[in-house]
Amino acid sequence: MRVSNVTVRKRLTLVLLVGILVFFIIDIRLGYVQFILGNELTGKARDSWSRNIPFEPKRGEIVDKNGVPLATNISAPTVYVVPRQVEDPEKTAEALSASLNMQKEKAYEYVTKNSSIVRINEGRKISHEKAKEVRALELKGVYIGEDSKRHYPFGSYLSHVLGFAGIDNQGLMGLELFYDKELSGSEGSVKFYANAKGQRMNDMADDYQPPENGYDLRLTIDSKVQTIIERELDIAEAKYDPDGLIAIAMDPNNGEILAMSSRPGFDPANFQNVPQEVYNRNLPVWSTYEPGSTFKIITLAAALEEGKVDLENDQFHDPGHVEVGGSRLRCWKKGGHGTQNFLEVVQNSCNPGFVELGERLGKETLFKYIKDFGFGQKTGIDLQGEGKGIMFNLERVGPVEQATTAFGQGVSVTPIQQVTAVAAAVNGGILYTPYIAKELIDPRTGQVVMSKNPEEKRRVISEETSKKIRYTLESVVAQGTGKNAFVESYRVGGKTGTAQKAKDGRYLENNHIVSFIGFAPADDPQIVVYIAVDNPKGTVQFGGVVAAPIVGNIMEDSLRALGVAPRKDQIEKELTWLDTPMMEVPDLIGMEKKELQQQLINLRLDVSGEGNTVVKQAPSPGTKIKEGSIIRIYMNEGD
Amino acid sequence: MPTKKTTPDFILMIITFSLLCVGLIMVYSASAVWAEYKFDDSFFFAKRQMLFAGVGIMAMFFIMNIDYWTWRTWSKLILIICFVLLVLVLIPGIGNVRNGSRSWIGVGAFSVQPSEFMKLAMIAFLAKFLSVNQKLITSFKKGLGPALLLVFTAFGMIMLQPDLGTGTVMVGTCVVMIFIAGARVSHFAALGLLGAAGFVGLILSAPYRIKRITSFLDPWEDPLGSGFQIIQSLYAIGPGGLFGLGLGQSRQKFFYLPEPQTDFIFAILAEELGFIGGSFVLLLFSLLLWRGIRIALGAPDLYGSFLAVGIVAMIAIQVMINIGVVIGLMPVTGITLPFLSYGGSSLTLMLMAVGVLLNISRYSRY
């Protein structure tokens, strides 16, 4: 008997059709997942199967303007563990703890950690011998990755500027921090495929994504000049045992920093050994203090530019003090400099003379120039932690404030501000933004990816005024307070500075920052050098005595190193009782004993031989020597 | 009482054996890694499944020779026993909890799920009820109402475990049977509206529910929680492509897809054998559906017809839900894929159900 009920038959057929339709829909969805979503799902699935072993990029090198490496990398192996590949955690932990000098429990924790890949901190940046030792253990699941460690070939040299990088090669201080992004590059990795238990799936090839190395950084620093400066600072440190030392050398024609250093210094590889404030204060840009007389250059520049003074013809009488707003400001020289023209005012660094110049300018004009020269604001150098300095608020400037500002007291400036301002005063009148990073170079292609050009901020004074300043400051060195910075035939110009240090609103006794800022050659300055010595011991604390000779030494060697040609015309040095006059060695050959005594009033003789006539002499005739020097002669029997 | 026996439906038998073979191969392939890891024996699950298949086939042939009217006679008693078991399984100490549901009675490998038996008992009893009261089914009070009351009582008890998958399959199967028996479309429409209204009411009272229900549409919203299985399943199916990675080449079975030999075996099949393999399995199930309906159409009486359609509807609905979950069309419910998934109780019961179907086919005339 067949089911004859029509409804039942119809509905059975309907159910069959609906059922088949649903299966068909399911099949379409299956196809959609496999064909339309397939690629996307496959990608996601591969991500879920893959495990990464990171490869750190090589940090970019830092080189000086001539390519001398200042910060480089040395390779340092690092130990990684893939816990799920470790076959015998107990044994592995024991072996690792023995060779990496860590506790066994700690090692066991690493090798059993519930993580796809673990970096062993005790095994970071280890020596190659250690790495070899670990590799020789042939432990399953233990890998040695190539890491790199920062290396500073010159040690503490330039350390404040370079700064340093941490264990993760991350920039922590100085240029390493300022240009961290560019130096860092990006991480690469080796990708291997693993099952959900982290074991490697052997049938799938590993992917290698190379790390992208960081850019190399080329500085404006000239390592030759830097070396000279470091040497001079070391000598000064030994000689004066100062509280601190600051040195900057800059190319005045573009704002490039040629050298920068300070004391106390530190070794970037062991920065932890010094107090924090030693390594995180880059004194040449951070510290602010009273500039003292070096600031008079600004007052001079303003007065010359405004036509308020005729250096040769305007006379000034300095009685040793000046009355301003009811108070008496004294000149540094007791009894004063007497009557002098303004060129001599500058040469003598005469305070009342500069008070006069300040009065002639008026406070608005004086402060406008100070601002134009960049004081009271950051120079914008590409270094961290730059200071701003403090200026008097113009509304609160009375006659006293105006007067002290004119000779560099009561204001507070940074060394880098002084250097850029003086550079502008002598380079023809252009204020530049100082900078220290010249180029970023892609190490793979050698191509320059970023190049910094000199940045003119503004014209401050005219070419003509600048020329007058150069002449005036050259005369300060040749004939005034800066004589100790004089370098034969290199036409050094400059200005001394001696500033009292203030603490808790009062000046300290016998505690000065003595400084000198110099430039050379005066006809076309190629370098500006600033030196400040904080509280030198065992000497008179005058910039001309302590700082000027250091600048002189730096100038002489640096100009030669930079290949600057010696000049012919220079303002001749005025001799003081401290200077021994030079004289030419006379021709003594052929003379007899009797004659010699009349000739050599200012020289001493070292005689050898028994004879009566001079046959040889050293040095040879015509050589310039100091008075009182010894001349060796050799006597022989006359015919 | 049917009279003359003929040969059973051999095509149905072939389809069943084909599914069984695919199932055995896939159980081995999907479980080998997991079995090796857990039991140090890659054949652990395959061997057991082989045993279950043997037992199931014997049961199938045995039942194939039991006159299906026997089930009509005993259906009431069987149903009562099943109700008792459903009560017993809820009692801690008698019922065991697996995967968060108290669904199992017995010890170790000899555990059974009363709800699985309830499914079959309900089919046998409902077929009888509908065939006796077929004229009354158009009446809500005398036909449809009592039938639904019975079905939903059983459903409610299953949901106490809770076992949403089995409960849904049972309700779906019963609804199909009642529909076949001739219930009014207007009644279905009214019930459908009622259900929809209740559904909307539930959502309005707690809007977060809609999120729970639709979360399967975007499993990446909670990749480690509710979306985890679906994502891992899709990671298997997606890379399969047209021809698959090749038998045994699944990656997702390497501990990514939990217990790949059970509910999600179709994902591994689609990964290894691709769209072709998946479509082939779907084709086999379609053919099975066709043979089952054909048997229902040729059955000598209404009871046979309703019994046949109940069995085939149960199999088809279970397939639809299982694969629907695996390919991300439905929220995860946790039911096996007939003939393919690993599991003794599921496999033997399915084969026994086919046995009943084959018995009915021996009396069919087309």
Same domain (yes/no): A536, A549: yes
Examine residue A568 and state whether it is found in any structural domain, yes or no.
Answer: no
Q: Which residues contact A542 (CB under 8 A, 6 or more apart)?
A: A496, A498, A514
Judge: B238–A40 Cβ closer than 8 Å, yes or no.
yes
Tens of pLDDT, residues A327-370: 888 888 888 888 899 999 998 888 999 999 999 999 999 999 99
Tens of pLDDT, residues B279-322: 999 999 999 999 999 999 988 889 999 999 999 999 999 999 99
Contacts 24+ apart (CB under 8 A), A362-369: A363/A394, A363/A397, A363/A401, A363/A402, A364/A394, A365/A302, A365/A306, A366/A299, A366/A302, A366/A402, A366/A405, A366/A406, A367/A391, A367/A392, A367/A394, A367/A397, A367/A405, A369/A298, A369/A301, A369/A302, A369/A305, A369/A460
Q: Which residues of A touch B (CB under 8 A)?
A: 1-3, 5, 7-9, 11-13, 15-16, 19-20, 22-23, 26-27, 29-31, 33-35, 37-38, 40-42, 44-45, 48-49, 195-197, 201
Examine residue A29 and state whether it is found in any structural domain, yes or no.
Answer: yes
Q: Where residue A1 falls among pLDDT bands split at 50, 70, 90?
A: very low
**ipTM associated with this complex:** 0.93
Q: Decide if B34 contacts B253 (C-beta within 8 A).
A: yes
Judge: A3–B301 Cβ closer than 8 Å, yes or no.
yes
Judge: B327–A2 Cβ closer than 8 Å, yes or no.
no
Rounded Cα gap, residues A221 and A228, in angstroms: 12
Same domain (yes/no): A368, A261: yes
Say whether pLDDT at B91 is over 70: yes
The chain A residue lying nearest B2, using CA atoms, is: A1
Same domain (yes/no): A376, A515: yes
Contacts 24+ apart (CB under 8 A), B30-39: B30/B250, B30/B253, B30/B260, B30/B261, B30/B265, B30/B268, B30/B269, B31/B253, B31/B260, B31/B261, B31/B342, B32/B248, B32/B253, B33/A195, B33/B253, B33/B254, B33/B255, B34/B253, B34/B255, B34/B259, B34/B260, B34/B261, B37/A197, B37/B255
A118-132, A384-398, B269-283, B289-303: the lowest-pLDDT one? A118-132
Q: What is the pLDDT of residue B39?
A: 85
The SS3 call for residue A315 is strand
Domain-ending residue, one of A219, A242, A267: A219
More confident residue, A194 or A235: A235
For B313: left if phi > 0, alpha if psi spans -120 to 50, otherwise beta; the answer is alpha
Chain position carrying tokens 């069919």: B364
Same domain (yes/no): A480, A363: yes
- The chain-wide mean pLDDT, for chain A, equals 86
Q: Which residues contact B197 (CB under 8 A, 6 or more apart)?
A: none
Rounded Cα gap, residues B23 and B5, in angstroms: 31
Same domain (yes/no): A303, A414: yes
Examine residue A238 and state whether it is found in any structural domain, yes or no.
Answer: yes
Tens of pLDDT, residues A494-540: 999 888 887 777 788 888 899 999 999 999 999 999 999 999 998 88
What sign has the CA pseudo-torsion B93, B95, B97, B100? negative
Q: Where residue A576 falls among pLDDT bands split at 50, 70, 90?
A: low
Q: Residues of B with CB below 8 A from A38's CB?
A: 238-241
Same domain (yes/no): A189, A289: no
Residues within 8 A of A (CB atoms), B 42-101 only: none
Say whether pLDDT at B81 is over 70: yes
CATH number at residue A610: 3.30.10.20
Across the interface, of A5, A12, A49, the residue whose CB is closest to B251 is A49
Q: Which of A293, A349, A412, A475 is catalytic?
A: A293
Judge: A15–B275 Cβ closer than 8 Å, yes or no.
no
In this prediction the pTM is 0.59
State which residues form the domain around A131.
51-219
More confident residue, A601 or B114: B114
The chain B residue lying nearest A29, using CA atoms, is: B327
Residue A293 annotated in active site: yes
Task: Give the 3-state secondary structure of B100-150.
Answer: CEEEEECCHHHCECHHHHHHHHHHHHHHHHHHHCHHHCCCHHHHHHHHHHH
Q: Decide if A539 contacts A520 (C-beta within 8 A).
A: no
Same domain (yes/no): A289, A326: yes
Q: Residues of A with CB below 8 A from B327's CB?
A: 26, 29-30, 33
Say whether pLDDT at B142 is over 70: yes
Over residues A411-421, the mean pLDDT reads: 94
Give the rounded percent of residues in chain A with a pLDDT score beyond 70: 94
Across the interface, of A1, A23, A27, the residue whose CB is closest to B300 is A1
- For chain A, give the number of residues: 639
Q: Kindly state the tokens that stand for A474.
A: 């050259």
Q: Residues of B with CB below 8 A from A7's CB?
A: 182
**What are the Cα distances from residue A142, in Å, to A78, A120, A365, A376, B68?**
11, 10, 73, 58, 67
A32-36, A477-481, A580-584, B343-347: the lowest-pLDDT one? A580-584
Tens of pLDDT, residues B157-205: 998 888 888 888 999 999 999 999 888 888 888 888 988 888 788 777 7
Judge: B237–A33 Cβ closer than 8 Å, yes or no.
yes
Q: Decide if B26 contacts B269 (C-beta within 8 A).
A: yes
Q: What is the pLDDT of residue B228?
A: 79
Q: Which residues contact A318 (CB under 8 A, 6 or more apart)?
A: A331, A336, A337, A338, A339, A340, A345, A350, A352, A353
Q: What is the pLDDT of residue A469?
A: 94
More confident residue, A524 or A608: A524
Judge: A41–B234 Cβ closer than 8 Å, yes or no.
yes
Judge: A195–B256 Cβ closer than 8 Å, yes or no.
yes
Rounded Cα gap, residues B235 and B251, in angstroms: 9
Same domain (yes/no): A120, A212: yes
A290-299, B2-11, B122-131, B303-312: the lowest-pLDDT one? B2-11
Q: What is the pLDDT of residue B357?
A: 95
Distance in Å, alpha carbon of A47 to nearest chain B alpha carbon? 10
- Helices and strands, number each (H, E), in chain B: 12, 2
Judge: A15–B239 Cβ closer than 8 Å, yes or no.
no
Q: Where residue A601 falls among pLDDT bands split at 50, 70, 90?
A: low
Over residues A104-123, the mean pLDDT reads: 82
Judge: B313–A15 Cβ closer than 8 Å, yes or no.
yes
Same domain (yes/no): A536, A607: no
Judge: B237–A34 Cβ closer than 8 Å, yes or no.
yes
- At A279, the amino acid letter reads Y
Same domain (yes/no): A191, A240: no
Q: Decide if A123 contacts A79 (C-beta within 8 A).
A: yes
Distance in Å, alpha carbon of B275 to nearest chain A alpha carbon? 6
The chain A residue lying nearest B287, using CA atoms, is: A20
Q: Residues of B with CB below 8 A from A20's CB?
A: 286, 289-290
Q: Residues of B with CB below 8 A from A16's CB?
A: 289-290, 293
Q: Within an 8 Å CB–CB cutoff, is residue B329 touching chain A?
A: yes
Q: Residues of B with CB below 8 A from A48's CB?
A: 235, 256
A458-467, B6-15, B249-258, B322-331: the lowest-pLDDT one? B249-258
- At A239, the amino acid letter reads K
Q: What is the DSSP letter of A592?
A: B
Q: Residues of B with CB below 8 A from A9's CB?
A: 297
The chain A residue lying nearest B239, using CA atoms, is: A42
Same domain (yes/no): A162, A132: yes
Same domain (yes/no): A65, A96: yes
- At A395, the amino acid letter reads E
Q: Residues of A with CB below 8 A from B256's CB?
A: 48-49, 195-196
A347-351, A582-586, B41-45: the lowest-pLDDT one? A582-586
Where does A13-158 show beta strands of DSSP type E?
50-55, 62-63, 69-81, 118-119, 142-151
Rounded Cα gap, residues B183 and A15, in angstroms: 14
